[in-house]
Each structure stands twice: as structure tokens, then as C-alpha cells.
Structure 1
Amino acid sequence: MIPAAVVLAGSRGGTDPVASHAGVSDKALIELAGTTMLARVLRALDEAGIVNVAVAANAPGVIAEAEQHGANRLPAAAGPSASTAEALATLGAPLLVTTGDHALLQPKWIRQFLADVPREADVAVLLARREAVEQAAPGSRRTYLRFADGDWSGCNLFLLATPKAEAAVRLWQAVERDRKRPWRIVGRLGPGLLLRYLMGRLSLSEAIAALGRRAGITAAVVECRDGLAAVDVDKPSDLDFVRAYLAGQPTAA
């Protein structure tokens, strides 16, 4: 079954440093090789065969850009998890979730991700190993999760495969609320798994599966073959990297 998709492109309020760096009102409207970041994401989804696409946005310029490229509009909620909850309630499952700053998103990543999601999964997340990211995107500084089976970076692609994935979104909302209290986030693993993590004996897939069980769902990690998928535009240096990459210039630091 071909999923619907939501592109998270809401504003968090205040001045976005990346938009300011690029001299535009909203990050999703930054032009790269003559095309806005949002339009690049929408084109990748279209070429991957995703036909029912909505953009969660609240800025007039972003809404106009989404509608110009044939996407539906959903009002952006207070944060990414709340916007995803609204999208799941509106569009239903299966629902593919990505972001408006996934500037290098490629159709093949989307197709491969959907093909690799285990059939029994209620929710799945795409991640790439550090080695793959550093090979594909030398000089790009990413955030990594350290586990027994390596260091991993998120690829801004999630699949809410069944209606039960609503529980995962609720967990995400709780994590967002606790983002300034990291001990609460880590504590959700439970003392046994937390001890294994601190000892360097917990794999990423084990951690994700355990969090899923606590939410009453089956959660899975899908490994991305192309480390470039981990590159999004969270800070001005990311934008500089993406521009250099698209221009075919050396990107190594």
C-alpha cells in the first residue's frame, strides 16, 4: 500500500538562523540550484510515487509554495510531534513523515526505505551509520547516537505503518516535553537497558524495539545504504555544505 506523506515545515517562532543566513523569510523557501528546499522535497516524494502529500506549515510563503506544487496544507501545530499527530489523525496510516529541510532527499531512498520496513512494524525509522555518512558527506557535521553496534544518525524519514503508531507519536510528544530533562528520556529505557547502554552493550535496534514495547507497538530501525540521506539543513554550515555539494565542489572540512 502506498502511504500518504506529510512534510513538516512549520516555524518554531523567532528568527531562524538558517533563513537569516540565506536572506529569506523561511528556511523551506531557500533556493538551491534554482529550486526551493520545499519544492525539492515535494519533487522527491512525487518521483517516489507518493501521490497524497500534505505540508504542515503556518507561514504564508511556505503555504503558497506547497500549494503551487500540488501539496495539501495542514496547519502546523506547536512542534514536530504535534504536527505529526495531526497529520496521522487527518491522513491516516500508513503515513510517511519527512521534513521541509531534507534538501538532498532522493526518490530511491524513499522507495528503498518503504521496501525494507519489516511487515510486522507499526513504526519504522531510517538511520545511517557514521561510516556511511562520513564516506558520502565528508565535512558534514551530524549528530550521532552511540550504541554497541556503532554510531548512527537520523535520516528524517519515518513510517507510521499502522494506526497503532499513534502510541509512538505520543511517546515522541513526551520526549519533546522532556528535552530539557534528558534523564527522563533515558529513563524510559528502564534500569536494565539503561545499564546495558551505559556499559556500551545495547544496540540501537534493541533500544528502539524496547521503546516500542513500552509503547505497546512494534518499532523497527531500517539502515540506509547512502549516508548522504543523513544530511539536512539545521544550521548555516549545513546550508553551505548542501550548496557546495550541489555545485559539485569539494566538501571535506
Structure 2
Amino acid sequence: MEESTQAPAASALILAGSRPEPDLLALSQGVSHKALIRIDGHTMLERVHAALVQAGYDRIYVSASDDGVVALAQGLGMIVVPPATGPSGSVARVFELSGAPLLVTTSDHALLRPEWVRDFTHDAPAHCDVAILLAERGEVEKAVPDTKRTWLRFADGDWSGCNLFLLNGAGAARALQLWSSVEADRKRPWRIVGRLGLGTLVSYGLGRLTLADGVRRLGKRNGIAAEVVAARDGEAAVDVDKADDLVLARQLLARRVASV
């Protein structure tokens, strides 16, 4: 993979929107939003913010409407932007303010390390409009044995998302439009599949399509230079979306503290 010599982007966004339904994980921990859940004395939002600051980001946005999250973010010096209807709209709203490059992550990425961010932006090809960090199953299971993940199955292995995205070039706005249309079609999967094209579908069905090639093909069909970046640390695939994830995150952070 081509290496980029670009410096980390000055702007980053933390997604911390609220869903229409009650956040059961947050309620179980006595807070209004899961970004406010504390792990080893610090909220998840504080942990993500600290990792971004240590990675060199000096302009950090947060997409949030929960009063507690907004107050905490403002206290940390973050720029609060009200969320749109869906994640793609929230990212697009901030992208209009920040421009490229913009790093995007989520408030439940409680284990985020600054070196993961630096490695990601370094490994992302300089020419790409958008880059996505994913971790290969072997790396994830090496770092976090017995973890339960949702895997994307391709010819080059099983992959899991890492909640890190880089909007890097002129085509990033088109990538956000594509993301928005995929969200709109989530109940009409045939339309999403149709965007891949017959050749790509055949390659996938025959087990010959790699993840990177699939993402490149989808991007090319939409005028976007899209790239997958492989995570160097499989632990980057762990976020906190349910009770088991919270238990795991606390165990992993305790292990970090003990190893120092």
C-alpha cells in the first residue's frame, strides 16, 4: 500500500448523536448518554477527546444534542454542532465547516489510542478521497481473544470496522452523498447491492473479491477514490455498544494500566 507523508489533519469529529429509542446501556449506568459512561474514572467522550488531542488535533468537533454531552464537550473546548437526521448528515454538516482533511470517529471508541490515529492517517494513501480503517480477524483475535464481532467476509479474510474514517480529498463530499443514499435505502437492500455492479457481485459470489478491491470498485463507480487501511492493532475494532463491550473495555483498560 502506498504510504502518505501527510501530517495528521487539524480537524476531527466525534459522533455522539442520540437515537430515538432509549439508550439502555446508558440507563444501566445511570447516565443520559453512553458517551458519559465512566471507565477508570473518565467518561468515554473524555477518553476519545484526549486521544485525538495527543494525536495532534487542535480543532475537535462533536455532533451531539444531549445536554450532558454538550456541556462536557464545551468544557473540554470542543466545537458542538447539532446532529442531523443520520450519521452521514451529521458528518456532512461538520465537513461543510471544516473541509478536508477531516478525521471522523465515535464517542464510544473508548479504547482509542493516539498511535492508532497517527498510523491510520500515515497509512492512508495520499491520493484517496476517503479512507476507512478496518481490522482483519486474525489481528483482532490476537489482540482480543474470544471477542464476538460482526465480520465482513471477503477473499482476503474476515474484517471488522474500527470506527475511524478519513475524509481526505475533493471526492469526500460525493462519498458523504453515497453514504446518505445507502442510509436511505437500508430497507431496500437490492438498491444497495445494485451499486456494486454485476462484475463485482460475481467476484464476491465466487469468493474472489478482496475487501480493498470491493471498496475501490464501489468508489470508482461513484467518482470517489476510496481506500481500506488495515489496522496495525486488532484492539482498534473494539467499541462500546452493549453491556458485554463495556465489560471488555474495562478489562482491557485495566490491563493497560497494569502493564505501565
Structure-2-length-normalised TM-score:
0.93
Partner of 2:31: 24
Residues 127 and 169, structure 2, Cα contact 8 Å, conserved in 1: no
Residues 167 and 216, structure 1, Cα contact 8 Å, conserved in 2: yes
Matches within 5 A, 1:37-76: 37-76=44-83
Instruction: Establish whether residue 219 from structure 1 lines up as the match of residue 229 from structure 2.
Output: no
Instruction: Establish whether residue 165 from structure 1 lines up as the match of residue 141 from structure 2.
Output: no
Instruction: Establish whether residue 126 from structure 1 lines up as the match of residue 143 from structure 2.
Output: no
Residues 205 and 221, structure 1, Cα contact 8 Å, conserved in 2: yes
Residue 186 (structure 1) shift? 2.0
Equivalent-residue separation in structure 2 for 1:188 and 1:17 (angstroms): 35
Partner of 1:104: 111
Equivalent-residue separation in structure 1 for 2:158 and 2:229 (angstroms): 14
Equivalent-residue separation in structure 1 for 2:27 and 2:145 (angstroms): 25
Using the TM superposition, name which of 161-170 and 40-49 deviates more.
161-170
Residue 248 (structure 1) shift? 2.9
Residue 20 (structure 1) shift? 2.1
Residue 2 (structure 1) shift? 3.7
Q: Which secondary structure does the structure 2 equivalent of 1:247 belong to?
A: helix
Residue 142 (structure 1) shift? 1.3
Residues 8 and 118, structure 2, Cα contact 8 Å, conserved in 1: no
Letter aligned with residue 197 of structure 1: Y
Instruction: Establish whether residue 179 from structure 1 lines up as the match of residue 186 from structure 2.
Output: yes
Equivalent-residue separation in structure 1 for 2:90 and 2:146 (angstroms): 32
Pick from 157, 160, 171 the counterpart of residue 150 of structure 1.
157
Equivalent-residue separation in structure 2 for 1:247 and 1:118 (angstroms): 34
Residue 140 (structure 1) shift? 2.4
Equivalent-residue separation in structure 2 for 1:18 and 1:162 (angstroms): 36
- 1:4-59 CA-to-partner distances (Å, cap 9, x unmatched) read 11100010122112212322110100000000000000000000001111000011
Residue 246 (structure 1) shift? 1.9
Q: Gapped runs of 5+ residues in structure 2?
A: 1-6
Residue 240 (structure 1) shift? 1.4
Equivalent-residue separation in structure 1 for 2:183 and 2:149 (angstroms): 20
Instruction: Establish whether residue 83 from structure 1 lines up as the match of residue 90 from structure 2.
Output: yes
Equivalent-residue separation in structure 2 for 1:197 and 1:58 (angstroms): 40
Equivalent-residue separation in structure 1 for 2:40 and 2:190 (angstroms): 43
Equivalent-residue separation in structure 2 for 1:20 and 1:139 (angstroms): 27
Residues 14 and 105, structure 2, Cα contact 8 Å, conserved in 1: yes
Please provide the CA RMSD for this pair: 1.3
Q: Alignment length, in residue pairs?
A: 249
Q: Which secondary structure does the structure 1 equivalent of 2:204 belong to?
A: helix
State the identity %.
55
Residue 247 (structure 1) shift? 2.5
Structure-1-length-normalised TM-score:
0.95
Q: Gapped runs of 5+ residues in structure 1?
A: none
Partner of 1:94: 101
